Structure formats: structure tokens, C-alpha cells
Amino acid sequence: MNGFLIIDKPLGWSSHDVVSKVRRITGEQQIGHLGTLDPLATGVLPLLLGKWTRLAQYFGKLEKAYTGTIRFGYATHTYDGEGEPVGERVPISLDLEKLREVAAGFTGKIEQTPPIFSAKKVAGKTAYTLARAGKTPEMKSVPITVHRLEIPRICGECADFEVTLSAGGYVRSLAHDMGQQMGCGAHLASLRRVAAGPFRIDSAQTMEQLVALMDTGTLVQSMPHARTLLPEIPATTADTYTAGRIRNGGAANLPEFSQSELVKIFAGRDELIAIGRRIAGTLFQPVVVLG
């Protein structure tokens, strides 16, 4: 089964759990996701199925948008509510305007240190593997961009937030760093991804909805059409002879795309058979063959 799904990841599931469950539901073994979500988080998890997993390289690093809650008063060693408290709990009375001023200091281009309990690689190993083994990996700060960070409301020791940030940014680190700035410690209490690049939560399917679509035989029809994916890459429909060459890895002349680096090549309206790369003039070589 070739296709694309936007899953609304349940609370407590790892991204790998979702992939494993979708394999059992659909019977398709080749499945990959576009951006890991922690078990604490819910929301948008895009999946590529079948031969379409070969398209992952063209999606690049997706900007993410989240909503959630930060709890102030103490930090944790994982920067979220699943971790052990670090230091004493500090009584805190939040001031909305003050918190908004602090949040403003974390917008724009910033340097951020990822949590030690993260998938960042340190000396060839994931940081969380080293941390779980009792080691303290040395985490280097990385440049990220926080496009938007808003605090719409507070309630007691908690503050709701809405954030949009570049790929590679950690909302857990934002929560932790804001707590340090406030002088009271903080950690991420809840997190929901509402968008990953162009994929939004209102297009996502729950696991229950996925099962229902499989039961009614309508899953494939519910998937985004191939022509809507990777809209930045132009599309063409090959004739029968050209489609045959492309399916066998042969180059094709596509004169209408002399200025394009890549082209999505279809056989008919619906079947995406290849991604072609321009090798000279209007000659395109299929670099990913799907059909």
C-alpha cells in the first residue's frame, strides 16, 4: 500500500508505537514518520507508507506548531512532567504580563541546548541512551528560530502557550529555559502538535478512525492525493512510452520543465511513478522510482 497518512498520535504512545500499530492495521510493513513525537505529546504525526517512504528525503525539515502547558515552580531532569524534580519546589504566583515579557525574549533566532533525554546524537549515540545508562552527555547548543511564542492565559502555577518553531527545536527546552529565566524552575506539563509543515491537526486521523476506514475499505480514498504532496515540485503526466522508460530507470525528455531541478512524474491522473532530476537541458533522470 503506497500512500500518506496524518495520524493524531495518542497520549503515552511513542512514534514507534504508532508505526507498529499502523503496520498491523494496514498490513503494510514499509512505514516511516516525518518527525518524532515524545510519548508525552499528542497530535500531528505524518506517515509515509510503502514505496512512498522513498519520498521522505524531499520533505526536508518541517517547521512545527504546538500548543500546551508549562508548569512553573520546579524543573525536572527530563524537562517534562515524567521526570524527577530537580531542586526544591518554589511557590510561585505568575504574572501574565511578566511571563509574556520573558516569552518575548525567546522569540526570533536563538541558541538552544537540547535536553539530555532527547534523540540528539552525541559521539554516535542518542543522548537519551547515554542518560539512561547514568552518563551525562555533553549537549551543545544549536541555533533555532522561534517564529511565534504566545502565552494566552495562566492558571495558578501553569501557563498555556502557543508556539511555532523551526525543525530541531525542543519545546521542553523552551519550558525549562523560561523557568530558569523566571528564577523558579519550570517543566513541560502537556504538549500537542497542531501542525508539521503543511500538515495540520484538522486533517489528522485518530487510530480509531484509521481502523474504521480499513474496515470499510475506504482508507486509500481518504489519503491525500499524490498531486497535492510536495507542491513545490511541478508535476507532469507521461505518455505510455515515456512512462515505460521511466519505470525501467530510463531518462526522459520533458521540454516544458527546462527551469526545474525536480519533477513529479505521473502515469495517468493518480499514479505517481517517479521523481525525476534534470541532468542536462530538458533531460530528466528518475532518481526515485515508485511505480
For 190-211, give the DSSP string.
Answer: EEEEEEETTEEGGG-B-HHHHH
Can you read off the three cell numbers belonging to residue 247?
519505470
Contact status, residue 151 vs residue 96, Cβ threshold 8 Å: yes
> How many residues are listed for the chain in this entry?
291
- Quick one: which of 63, 7, 46 has its CA closest to 205? 7
φ and ψ at residue 243, rounded to 5 degrees: -60, -40
Contacting residues for 22 by C-beta, under 8 A, at least 6 apart? 5, 7, 28, 31, 47, 49, 210
Give the end-to-end CA distance of the chain in Å, rounded to a whole number. 12
Q: Which residues of 218-232 are buried (b: 16+ CB within 10 A; e: fewer)?
A: ebeeebeebeebbee
Cα Dmax for the chain: 73
Catalytic residue check, 38: yes
Catalytic pick among 8, 38, 80, 177: 38
3-class DSSP assignment, residue 70: strand
Instruction: Quickly count: other Cβ atoms within 10 Å of residue 140's Cβ.
Output: 10
Q: How far is CA 260 from CA 16, 68, 231, 267, 279, in A?
A: 36, 40, 13, 19, 11
The residues assigned a catalytic role are 38
